[in-house]
């Protein structure tokens, strides 16, 4: 099947790649652009390990076709730290031991960042429901929720 | 949160620094199984049986091989013959031989220049099947006229005249059961069943394998144990394990499911056939659920006798567990040994049947066998407590095992912490919270043996006085941090000055996987021994410099000191000073340790859960959850808590929702996460923890493994809580809303 030329902006960088029309955005990020931070845990949009933002909207990149990225702005885990400084969420995840195997972590971080951009002061319940699209099998979520709460508090304090 | 009040005079142990691999894992840099690629790499795909049981009449790969980009197809005919025992079963499971034995069983594999071409090619491989009658239910599989899965599977333990799918029979006990039951005021028996569940690690199995015609190969793979991968792949392929070098990637969860092989030999076999080009293979989620190793499904009977004062006088279990189509995979032996491990009961009987069924080959899943056993036994204890009006914690304290008690499975316990967990649960504020309507509280305890296992560790002192530790146990939940903390403590240097590397098979002697809750125990113990070797050498170097006897030098606070007044007066020589000149004073300084350590102290825990059951829908909401468990010594308390919380969450999923659902056709009906629904954040409350510390005498710092026990109590604790809330006793898992509603309605 002939491939389609796609140009997009990923983490602030102009990129281009050739996508088979059957390939997902996740495939393209990982296999064509070498951005393997986004993970495939299910391929059916159930686990959230592939979470990225597409034009500011949180999506499962396994449910977006690569060719749909034409002209889009995409943000992945690789773009979350700025100039070597970790995002508060990234720092708090490490401090709170909110990861064990770490495989789901990029998706949780991208999803949590999208939450805090919309709602800087979410309740525990709001955090739990927002992150219900991200599966973690190691932690029981406790430390993840606490890390998000702590990061949100720090970001509110800094704002 | 981490317990700051625990102090033992340690500098590093018991603190909660950032994990060494934290930065890599929050930035997306950490390389997991599917993140690895090589130049000139091919991609593999697998053809799987759509039938639960079928004779393979013919495999025709002509059309697939004709597709542009296809480089190799592998079937069972490409693998060596003559294997026996577990090696044969591993090979059978890698690629089906005469018969496909379960829905999803691999039949052929193909390698092509892209993953999409490989997937297209897999569809072009034509397999002709003769469909056979199948059986997936454990009790059905034990009937004399059930479809026979593996003729002659029974070993010497199976009594003559048993059903043909019974592969093993186990029978042990003590005392006099009849006399024991006669002593009891109440004797009850009941039947309990659990369905198979999957470990549910979020990372699907992935590997890149490369093997030349000379049988030399390399593999990069997500695994709990690189040496097991090496041994098992070599056995299946008939190659020399020393010629296969296996490097573990970061691992995205395992819980026992990545201690063995499923598709891992296939990239190697395909690579060999494709002229040595590396082959990458990544499973889909559906492949993971259909064709890797879930846990067993179980059919269990429990009989127990109790006096009015709560004394348990006698108990008997009859456990039947299917482990898939091959002998040796069902954890029924472990389940029997765990059944009464928490109790000191004079009269005991255990009977177990390992049964074959047309389901995937079971793998270990966190305390294999123990959660099912606990579901049956801890439910029965609760039933008796309720009937006699006794407090469930008091009854467990009355009958609970302690130091010196002879365990139900044989040996005498050394120092253990069951009683301490029960006391801590009783004293916890959660146990005193008043409950409202439709709410109920459940209590259960759990046990796991813990494991030592073959271990090999090296420590090398770096030129700048820091230390690197090479271990063979992949870091699944923070073991780099725990080993670095213990190394810092042992050497007397800062935590940040230790680098822990998880190394490939060429770098150390054989290591068992990260399994049996052993990584922090066994690799930590071996690290301590290795460090003693390095310390001895550093003391020797100082003695050389001071021109005194090496025996007159001691090590403390990261420096060599004269042992006493008589040794002479010298300024301490720091590790940094010794390391800086080690090239001139005798060469590199390192320490090694190889052993199969004993003394992995058993682990006990007690859980308390409060639920609210919606009488209209049968939905169970977990209101609060408490895990109390003995860690021996908590090296990094935050990651100890993480093990407790994660185990509890998996157990809650098993209890309330997760199950393998097979259709009449023998096909798995829920092979995606939407339908195999694991707990999500909105299903759970915060999970409260208490770390009890009863040091393990078998470890230099008192460590007990903490990984597994936590999954054991949730199954019965939730059943007991649901009973308390509704009056309905659920003796079958999962206790999902339809099941709970039906039980409430049946009660009338």
Interface of B with A in 243-272 (CB under 8 A): 250-255
Residue B395 backbone dihedrals phi, psi, to 5 degrees: -65, -40
Query: Is B388 an interface residue toward A (CB < 8 Å)?
Result: no
Quote the number of domains for chain A: 2
Q: Per the CB < 8 Å rule, is A90 touching B26?
A: yes
Q: Per the CB < 8 Å rule, is B202 touching A39?
A: yes
Do A65 and A23 belong to one domain? Answer: yes
DSSP-derived secondary structure for A31-89: IIS--TTS--S-SSSSS-TTEEEETTEEEEGGGSBGGGGTT-EEE-GGGSSBTTBPPHH
pLDDT at B5: 42
Do A67 and A118 belong to one domain? Answer: no
Computed over every residue of chain B, the mean pLDDT equals 97
pLDDT at B484: 98
Burial class, B745, CB count within 10 angstroms (exposed 0-12 / middle 13-18 / buried 19+): exposed
Do A129 and A74 belong to one domain? Answer: no
User: H/E/C letters for each residue in B608-666?
Assistant: EEEEEECCCCCCEEEEEEEEEEECCCCCCHHHHHHHHHHHHHHHHHHHHCCCCCECCCC
pLDDT at B733: 98
Q: What is the pLDDT of residues B599-629, one digit of tens each?
A: 999 999 999 999 999 999 999 999 999 999 9
- Residue of A18, A45, A138 best to disrupt the B interface, most CBs of B under 10 A: A138
Do A63 and A117 belong to one domain? Answer: no
Q: Which residues contact B329 (CB under 8 A, 6 or more apart)?
A: B89, B293, B296, B323, B361, B362, B363
Residue B368 reports pLDDT greater than 80 = yes
* ipTM rounded to 2 decimals: 0.98
- Set of chain A residues whose Cβ sits within 8 Å of the Cβ of B252: 39, 41, 101-104
Residue A119 backbone dihedrals phi, psi, to 5 degrees: -140, 95
Do A128 and A150 belong to one domain? Answer: yes
Q: Per the CB < 8 Å rule, is A97 touching B478?
A: yes
Domain boundary among A29, A61, A79: A79
Report the SS3 class of residue B400.
strand
Query: Is A22 an interface residue toward B (CB < 8 Å)?
Result: yes
Domain boundary among A53, A79, A105: A79
Judge contact between B402 and B418, C-beta under 8 A. Answer: yes
Judge contact between B89 and B97, C-beta under 8 A. Answer: no
- Set of chain A residues whose Cβ sits within 8 Å of the Cβ of B284: 43
Query: Is A117 an interface residue toward B (CB < 8 Å)?
Result: no
Query: Is A142 an interface residue toward B (CB < 8 Å)?
Result: yes
Closest CA to A89 of A149, A12, A1, A20: A149
Domain boundaries, chain B: 382-450+601-747, 455-595
Instruction: Evaluate the omega torsion of the peptide bond into residue B610 and state whether it is cis, within 30 degrees of 0.
Output: no
pLDDT interval class at A1 (50, 70, 90): low
Domain boundary among A36, A51, A79: A79
User: H/E/C letters for each residue in B64-99?
Assistant: HHHCCCEEEEEEHHHCCCCCCHHHHHHHHHHCCCCE
Residue B126 backbone dihedrals phi, psi, to 5 degrees: -95, 125
Do A140 and A97 belong to one domain? Answer: yes
Over range A19-30, report the average pLDDT: 98
Q: Per the CB < 8 Å rule, is B202 touching A104?
A: yes
Do A67 and A92 belong to one domain? Answer: no
Cα–Cα separations (whole angstroms), residue B415 to B403, B421, B604: 5, 13, 11
CB nearest to B26's CB, from A43, A47, A105: A105
- Set of chain B residues whose Cβ sits within 8 Å of the Cβ of A39: 32, 34, 202-203, 252
pLDDT interval class at B488 (50, 70, 90): very high
Alpha carbons B71 and B270: distance in angstroms, whole number: 9
Please give, rounded to a whole number of angstroms, the shortest distance from the CA of A147 to a CA of chain B.
12
Do A37 and A69 belong to one domain? Answer: yes
| B-chain residue closest to A96, CA distance | B638
| A-chain residue closest to B649, CA distance | A140
Query: Is A95 an interface residue toward B (CB < 8 Å)?
Result: yes
Alpha carbons B253 and B366: distance in angstroms, whole number: 11
pLDDT interval class at B748 (50, 70, 90): confident
Judge contact between B219 and B209, C-beta under 8 A. Answer: yes
Query: Is A4 an interface residue toward B (CB < 8 Å)?
Result: no
The residues facing B100 across adjacent strands are: B54
CATH number of the B382-450+601-747 domain: 3.30.365.10
The CATH number of the domain holding residue A38 is 3.10.20.30
Q: Per the CB < 8 Å rule, is A103 touching B203?
A: yes
pLDDT at B4: 42
Which helix (H) or strand (E) segment holds residue B237: the answer is: helix B226-237
Burial class, B547, CB count within 10 angstroms (exposed 0-12 / middle 13-18 / buried 19+): exposed
Do A17 and A57 belong to one domain? Answer: yes
Q: Per the CB < 8 Å rule, is A143 touching B649?
A: no
| DSSP H helix total and E strand total for chain A | 5, 5
Q: What is the pLDDT of residues B433-478, one digit of tens each?
A: 999 999 999 999 999 999 999 999 999 999 999 999 999 999 999 9
How do B439-448 and B603-613 pair as beta strands? Answer: antiparallel
Helix axes B370-388, B714-726, angle to 10 degrees: 30
Query: Is B23 an interface residue toward A (CB < 8 Å)?
Result: yes
Report the SS3 class of residue B519.
helix
Are B382-450+601-747 and B455-595 equal in CATH topology? Answer: yes
Query: Is B687 an interface residue toward A (CB < 8 Å)?
Result: yes
Over range B211-225, report the average pLDDT: 97
Q: Per the CB < 8 Å rule, is B201 touching A103?
A: yes
pLDDT at B565: 84
pLDDT at B524: 97
How do B467-471 and B498-502 pair as beta strands? Answer: parallel
Q: What is the pLDDT of residues A103-157, one digit of tens each?
A: 999 999 999 999 999 999 999 999 999 999 999 999 999 999 999 999 999 999 9
Please give, rounded to a whole number of angstroms, the shortest distance from the CA of A91 to a CA of chain B.
8
- For chain B, the residue count is 748
pLDDT at B9: 87
Over range B658-664, report the average pLDDT: 98
- For chain A, the residue count is 159
Alpha carbons B662 and B670: distance in angstroms, whole number: 8
Q: Which residues contact B193 (CB under 8 A, 6 or more apart)?
A: B297, B298, B299, B300, B731, B732, B733
The CATH number of the domain holding residue A100 is 1.10.150.120
Q: Which domain holds residue A49?
A: 4-79
Judge contact between B444 and B717, C-beta under 8 A. Answer: yes
- Residue of B23, B25, B283, B287 best to disrupt the A interface, most CBs of A under 10 A: B25
Judge contact between B356 and B175, C-beta under 8 A. Answer: no
Do A8 and A75 belong to one domain? Answer: yes
Do A95 and A147 belong to one domain? Answer: yes
CB nearest to A142's CB, from B32, B282, B686: B686
Query: Is A51 an interface residue toward B (CB < 8 Å)?
Result: no
| pTM of the full structure | 0.97
B455-595 CATH, one of 3.40.1160.10, 3.40.50.1820, 3.30.365.10, 3.40.50.10490? 3.30.365.10
Do A72 and A122 belong to one domain? Answer: no
Query: Is B476 an interface residue toward A (CB < 8 Å)?
Result: yes
pLDDT at B8: 65
The residues facing A73 across adjacent strands are: A9
- Set of chain A residues whose Cβ sits within 8 Å of the Cβ of B645: 139-140, 142-143
Q: Give the dihedral sign, CA B16/B19/B22/B25.
A: negative
pLDDT at A84: 87
- Set of chain A residues whose Cβ sits within 8 Å of the Cβ of B682: 125, 128-129, 131-132
């Amino acid at each position: 099947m002939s491939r389609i030329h796609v140009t997009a902006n990923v983490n602030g960088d102009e990129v281009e790649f050739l996508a088979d029309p059957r390939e997902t955005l996740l495939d393209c990020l990982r296999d064509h652009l070498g951005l393997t931070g986004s993970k495939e845990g299910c391929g059916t949009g159930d686990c959230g390990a592939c979470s990225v933002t597409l034009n500011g909207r949180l999506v499962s990149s396994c449910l977006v076709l690569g060719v749909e990225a034409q002209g889009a702005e995409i943000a992945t885990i690789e773009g979350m730290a700025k100039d070597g400084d970790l995002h508060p969420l990234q720092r708090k995840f490490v401090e709170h031991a909110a990861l064990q195997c770490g495989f789901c972590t990029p998706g949780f971080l991208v999803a949590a960042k999208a939450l805090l951009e919309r709602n800087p002061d979410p309740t525990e319940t709001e955090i739990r429901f927002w992150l219900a699209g991200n599966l973690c099998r190691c932690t029981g979520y406790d430390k993840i929720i606490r890390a998000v709460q702590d990061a949100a508090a720090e970001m509110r304090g800094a704002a | 949160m981490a317990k700051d009040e625990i102090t033992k005079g340690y500098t590093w142990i018991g603190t909660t620094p950032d994990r060494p691999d934290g930065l890599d894992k929050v930035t997306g840099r950490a390389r997991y199984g599917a993140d690895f690629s090589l130049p000139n790499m091919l991609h593999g795909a697998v053809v799987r049986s759509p039938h639960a049981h079928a004779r393979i009449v013919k495999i025709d790969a002509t059309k697939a091989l004709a597709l542009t980009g296809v480089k190799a197809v592998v079937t069972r005919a490409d693998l060596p013959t003559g294997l026996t025992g577990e090696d044969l079963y591993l090979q059978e499971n890698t690629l089906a031989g005469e018969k496909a034995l379960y829905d999803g069983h691999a039949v052929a594999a193909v390698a092509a220049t892209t993953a999409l071409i490989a997937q297209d090619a897999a569809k072009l491989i034509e397999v002709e099947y003769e469909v056979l009658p199948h059986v997936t239910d454990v009790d059905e599989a034990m009937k004399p006229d059930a479809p026979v899965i593996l003729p002659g599977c029974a070993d010497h333990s199976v009594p003559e005249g048993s059903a043909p799918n019974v592969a093993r029979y186990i029978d042990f006990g003590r005392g006099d059961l009849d006399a024991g039951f006669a002593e009891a005021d109440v004797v009850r028996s009941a039947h309990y069943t659990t369905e198979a569940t999957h470990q549910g690690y979020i990372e699907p199995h992935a590997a890149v394998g490369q093997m030349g015609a000379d049988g030399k190969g390399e593999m990069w793979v997500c695994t709990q144990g690189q040496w097991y991968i090496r041994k098992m792949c070599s056995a299946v392929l008939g190659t020399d394990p020393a010629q296969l070098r296996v490097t573990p990637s970061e691992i995205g969860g395992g819980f026992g499911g990545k201690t063995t092989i499923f598709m891992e030999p296939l990239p190697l076999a395909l690579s060999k056939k494709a002229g040595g080009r590396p082959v990458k293979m990544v499973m889909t989620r559906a492949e993971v659920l259909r064709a890797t190793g879930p846990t067993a499904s179980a059919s269990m009977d429990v009989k127990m006798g109790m006096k009015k004062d709560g004394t348990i006088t006698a108990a008997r279990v009859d456990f039947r567990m299917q482990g898939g189509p091959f002998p040796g995979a069902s954890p029924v032996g472990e389940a029997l040994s765990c059944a009464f491990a928490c109790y000191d009961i004079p009269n005991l009987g255990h009977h177990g049947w390992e049964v074959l069924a047309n389901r995937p080959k079971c793998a270990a899943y966190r305390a294999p066998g123990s959660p099912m056993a606990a579901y049956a036994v801890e439910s029965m204890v609760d039933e008796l407590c309720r009937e006699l009006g006794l407090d469930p914690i008091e009854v467990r304290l009355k009958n609970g095992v302690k130091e010196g008690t002879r365990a139900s499975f044989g040996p005498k316990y050394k120092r253990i912490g069951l009683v301490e967990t029960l006391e801590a649960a009783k004293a916890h504020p959660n146990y005193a919270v008043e409950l409202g309507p439709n709410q109920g509280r459940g209590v259960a305890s759990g046990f796991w043996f813990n494991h030592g296992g073959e271990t090999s560790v090296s420590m090398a002192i770096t030129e700048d006085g820091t230390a690197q530790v090479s271990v063979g146990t992949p870091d699944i939940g923070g073991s780099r941090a725990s080993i670095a903390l213990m190394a810092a403590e042992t050497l007397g240097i800062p935590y940040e000055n230790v680098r822990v590397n998880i190394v490939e098979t060429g770098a150390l002697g054989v290591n068992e996987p990260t399994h049996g809750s052993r990584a922090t125990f066994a690799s930590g113990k071996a690290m301590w021994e290795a460090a003693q070797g390095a310390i001895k050498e550093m003391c020797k170097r100082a003695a050389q410099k001071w021109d005194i006897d090496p025996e007159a030098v001691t090590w403390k606070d990261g420096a060599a000191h004269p042992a006493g007044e008589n040794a002479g007066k010298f300024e301490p020589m720091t590790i940094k000073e010794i390391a800086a000149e080690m090239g001139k004073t005798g060469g590199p300084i390192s320490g090694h340790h190889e052993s199969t350590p004993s003394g992995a102290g058993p682990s006990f825990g007690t859980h308390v859960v409060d639920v609210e059951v919606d009488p209209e829908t049968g939905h169970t909401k977990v209101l609060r959850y408490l895990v109390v468990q003995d860690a021996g010594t908590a090296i990094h308390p935050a990651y100890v808590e993480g093990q407790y919380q994660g185990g509890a969450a998996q157990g809650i999923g098993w209890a309330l929702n997760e199950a393998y659902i097979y259709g009449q056709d023998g096909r798995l009906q829920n092979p995606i996460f939407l339908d195999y629904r694991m707990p999500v954040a909105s299903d759970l409350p915060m999970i409260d923890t208490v770390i009890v510390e009863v040091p393990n005498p078998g470890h230099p710092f008192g460590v007990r493994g903490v990984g597994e026990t936590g999954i054991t109590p949730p199954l019965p604790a939730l059943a007991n809580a649901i009973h308390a809330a509704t009056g309905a006793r659920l003796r079958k898992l999962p206790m999902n809303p339809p099941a709970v509603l039906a039980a409430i309605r049946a009660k009338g």
